[in-house]
Amino acid sequence: MTCSSDKHCRRSVRLKDYDYSQAGAYFITICTHDRECVFGNVVEGDVILSEYGRVVEAEWVKTANIRNNVELDIFVAMPNHFHGVLIIVGGGNCTGRGTARRASTAMSERFGKPTSGSLPTIVRSFKSAVTRRINELRGTPRAPVWQRSYYEHVVRGEDDLDEIRKYIMSNPLKWELDEENPQKLRQERAT
């Protein structure tokens, strides 16, 4: 747990001593700031992306296009969160077709010391690109789009990956019951 006297304590969900730049599949979930529904709506089980949701989708696809160590699997932008499976191939610590710098060693990312090609660096770059583009569209410089952190899960085999794929595919169909759905939360408070 990381604590300081002037900030809240934050518990890390990362696996201790795990190298997040090594080859493997990773399931991530990122929520919007204050769970605001800015990426679109769900209508009869289908996600209808807003202009901002289309930015999220385009930047996610771009993530793999600019990095030769990244492949994408299934993903979905929901009204107020994003789910995706990202696969780091090869050694992880390599520059892609973008502007990232080559890391000299394959080490786990530590706070304040980004490792090129690692999951935290890739997610940070994705969140930053989405934020920049959405804020340009909204005319809201430096406004937060995402929550501060994100959920990550190291995929452990084909059965695990199949379950995650099912979860992501069914997410829009279950939106009415989703804990992240503000309409559901309002209905629960009203009862």
- pLDDT tens string, the chain, 191 residues long: the values are 444 444 444 444 555 666 678 899 999 999 999 999 999 999 999 999 999 999 999 999 999 999 999 999 999 999 999 999 999 998 544 443 332 322 323 344 455 566 788 999 999 999 999 999 999 999 999 999 999 999 999 999 999 999 999 999 999 999 988 877 887 766 677 77
Residue 22 inside a domain? The answer is yes
Please report, for residues 21, 35, 97, the alpha-carbon distance to residue 119 in angstroms, rounded to integers and kept in the order given: 6, 23, 17
Host domain of residue 61: 14-173
Spatial separation of the C-alpha atoms in residues 146 and 148, rounded to whole Å: 6
24, with CB counted inside 10 A (0-12, 13-18, 19+), is middle
Q: Is residue 188 part of a domain?
A: no
Secondary element (H or E) of residue 168: helix 158-170
Question: Quick count: other Cβ atoms within 10 Å of Cβ 154?
Answer: 15
- Classify 171 in phi/psi space as left (phi over 0), alpha (psi -120 to 50) or beta: alpha
Residue 2 in 3-state DSSP? strand
Answer yes or no: is 62 within a domain. yes
Instruction: Tell me if 82 sits within 8 A of 76, measured CB to CB.
Output: yes
Comparing CA positions, the residue from 30, 37, 39, 80 lying closest to residue 57 is 39
Residues in the chain: 191
Residue 89's domain is classified under what CATH number? 3.30.70.1290
168 assigned to some structural domain: yes
Rounded to two decimals, the pTM is 0.79
Distance of CA 191 to CAs 57, 176, 185, Å? 36, 16, 10
**What domain count does the chain have?**
1
